[in-house]
């Protein structure tokens, strides 16, 4: 393990208590809602926020006893914070200079980093003359130029417009793959986290609520927040063999489990009927339409009743079934499209 940390930061009405382990070459994304403590955790790793407890060990040496400037870190800030009075080249050369390189060596290092991020021709530009995407790449080059062992990225793509973000994200992914130290990335965008990170750590109210590879997290959400992020319906139920009871609805599932379980299924797997369909009473319940909204090419129906569920149907189905808010309706989900796992 390269980074081993337990971060405890106490503030009035807020407590962050977070265990974090990141391998060399691994990219870990801290994902969570606003105010969950992601940025505080990142700033604590950088030494910009003092720990009230815990420790930070990087490659076996304690980091938490060092001031920020003595930590072998590189940080990319949400709005980049490029020094406005320095050229792109001198911004990138700043780190190497601080680490004792001569002016010409630092500039040579900076020039090679600017080449790597594809900005060689902008080396003389002041930050205000750079586009958002260019500034982001200069910020990344600046953070990497001093050769950090721990790279910290705070919402690195949040300040970019949607089109630039796509392009910069794939570049960033390539640079992160080339970086051999530990990387911790903070984001509230699940897609960004899944594309960029090898492992997700989901934080809510200052503590880790779930972690795993993006595939695991996307498939097996463990909190409502994560389920919303990955776009699944999530319910807690009780399993008995291949049956799961959620509220008073009985589901047939593929997994053989016992005890408390999570049951997840996609809104697209939910089918709606005006009258009670024939067949088994399982995976079927009566619901009230609470709301109808546009969702991509489909229409999302929010159902209330014995369980609250989101269902995605086509606009044609909305017309055929004549769906209106307040209406009673039957909802069903196929057993093969549910996924149950121990809670």
Partner 1 sequence: MLTPRPGSSSGSAGSKGSAGRGRARRDSGPAGRVPWVLVVPALVALVFLVAPLAGLLVRAPWSTLATRLAEPQVLTALRLSLVTATLATVLCLLLGVPLAWVLARVDFPGRRLVRALVTVPLVLPPVVGGVALLLVLGRRGLVGQWLDSAFGITLPFTTTGVVLAEAFVAMPFLVISVEGALRAADLRFEEAAATLGASRWTVFHRVTLPLIAPGVVAGAVLCWARALGEFGATITFAGNFPGRTQTMPLAVYLALETEPEAAIVLSLVLLAVSILVLASLRDRWVTSP
Under the binding rule (CB under 8 A), the answer on residue 85 touching partner 1 is yes
Binding status of residue 67 toward partner 1 by CB under 8 A: yes
Could you say whether residue 73 binds partner 1 (CB under 8 A)? yes
Nearer residue to partner 1 within complex by CB, 84 or 279: 84
- Which one, 85 or 294, has the nearer CB to partner 1? 85
Q: Choose between 128 and 163: whose C-beta lies nearer to partner 1.
A: 128
Q: CA–CA separation, 156 vs 163, rounded Å?
A: 15
Task: Spell out the alpha helix ranges (H) of the chain.
Answer: 38-46, 88-98, 103-116, 132-145, 162-178, 190-196, 214-219, 224-230, 315-321
Which CB, 73 or 340, lies closer to partner 1?
A: 73
Using rule CB under 8 A, residue 191 touches partner 1: no
CB 187, CB 30: distance < 8 Å: yes
User: What Cα–Cα distance (Å) separates residue 52 from each residue in 30, 44, 49, 281?
Assistant: 20, 10, 9, 55
CB of 88 to partner 1, least distance (A): 14
Give the residue with the Cβ less far from partner 1, 98 or 166.
98
128 binds partner 1 (CB under 8 A): no
The answer to whether 209 touches 197, Cβ cutoff 8 Å, is no
User: Whole-angstrom Cα distance, residue 260 to residue 220?
Assistant: 14
Alpha carbon of residue 84 to chain centroid: 30
CB of 82 to partner 1, least distance (A): 8
If the CB atoms of residues 93 and 272 are measured against partner 1, the closer one turns out to be 93
- For partner 1, give the closer residue by CB, 135 or 202: 135
Residue 179 binds partner 1 (CB under 8 A): no
Name the minimum Å distance from CB 77 to partner 1.
6
255 CB-near residues (< 8 Å, 6+ apart)? 239, 242, 339, 340, 341
**Sign of the CA dihedral running 211, 212, 213, 218:** negative
DSSP codes joined into one string, 72-141:
-EEEE-TT----TTS-HHHHHHHHHHHTT--HHHHHHHHHHHHHHTT-GGGTT--GGGS-HHHHHHHHHH
Contacts of 108 (CB under 8 A, 6+ apart): none
129 binds partner 1 (CB under 8 A): no
Determine if 326 is a binding residue for partner 1 (CB under 8 A). no
To the nearest whole angstrom, how small is the minimum distance from the Cβ of residue 74 to partner 1? 7
Nearer CB in complex with partner 1: 111/343: 111
Choice from 32, 95, 214, 267 touching partner 1 (CB under 8 A): 95
Instruction: Supply the DSSP symbol for 1.
Output: -
To partner 1, the closest distance from the beta carbon of 75 in angstroms equals 4
Q: Using CA atoms, how far apart are residues 55 and 192, in angstroms rounded to an integer?
A: 28
Decide: is 225 part of the binding site for partner 1 (CB under 8 A): no
Which range touches partner 1 (CB under 8 A), out of 82-90, 117-125, 232-240, 281-289?
Answer: 82-90
> Which one among 30, 75, 217, 239 touches partner 1, defined by CB under 8 A?
75
* Residue carrying structure tokens 């200052």: 206
Residue 234 makes contact with partner 1 by CB under 8 A: no
User: Within a 10 A sphere around the Cβ of 97, how many other Cβ atoms?
Assistant: 18
36 versus 46: smaller Cβ distance to partner 1:
46
Distance in Å, CB of 111 to partner 1, minimum: 17
Chain residues binding partner 1 by CB under 8 A are 46-48, 67-71, 73-75, 77, 81, 83-85, 94-95, 98-99, 142-143, 146, 152
């Amino acid at each position: 393990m390269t980074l081993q940390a337990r971060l405890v930061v106490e503030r009035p009405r807020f407590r962050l208590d977070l265990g974090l382990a990141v391998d060399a070459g691994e990219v870990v994304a801290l994902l969570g809602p606003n105010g969950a403590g992601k940025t505080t955790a990142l700033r604590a790793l950088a030494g910009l926020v003092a720990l009230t407890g815990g420790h930070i060990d990087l490659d076996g040496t304690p980091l938490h006893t060092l001031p920020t400037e003595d930590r072998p870190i590189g940080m990319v800030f949400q709005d980049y914070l490029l020094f406005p009075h320095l050229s792109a080249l001198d911004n990138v050369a700043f780190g190497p200079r601080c680490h004792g390189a001569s002016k010409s060596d630092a500039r040579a290092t900076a020039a090679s980093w600017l080449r790597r991020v594809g900005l060689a021709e902008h080396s003389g530009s002041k930050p205000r003359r750079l586009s958002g995407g260019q500034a982001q790449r200069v910020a990344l080059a600046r953070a990497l130029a001093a050769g950090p062992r721990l790279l910290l990225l705070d919402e690195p793509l949040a300040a970019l417009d949607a089109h630039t973000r796509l392009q910069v994200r794939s570049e960033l992914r390539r640079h992160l793959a080339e970086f051999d130290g530990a990387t911790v990335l903070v984001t509230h965008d699940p897609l960004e986290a899944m594309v960029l990170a090898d492992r997700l750590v989901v934080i809510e109210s200052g503590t880790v609520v779930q972690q795993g590879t993006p595939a695991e997290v996307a498939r097996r959400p463990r909190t409502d927040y994560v389920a919303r992020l990955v776009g699944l319906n999530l319910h807690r139920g009780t399993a008995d063999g291949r049956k799961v009871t959620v509220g008073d609805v009985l589901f047939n599932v593929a997994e053989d489990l016992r005890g408390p379980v999570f049951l997840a299924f996609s809104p697209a797997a939910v089918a709606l009927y005006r009258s009670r369909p024939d067949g088994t009473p399982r995976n079927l319940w009566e619901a009230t339409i609470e709301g109808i909204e546009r969702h991509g090419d489909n229409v999302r129906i929010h159902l209330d009743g014995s369980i609250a569920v989101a269902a995605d149907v086509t606009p044609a189905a909305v017309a055929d079934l004549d769906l209106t808010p307040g209406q009673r309706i039957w909802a069903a989900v196929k057993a093969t499209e549910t996924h149950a796992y121990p809670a």
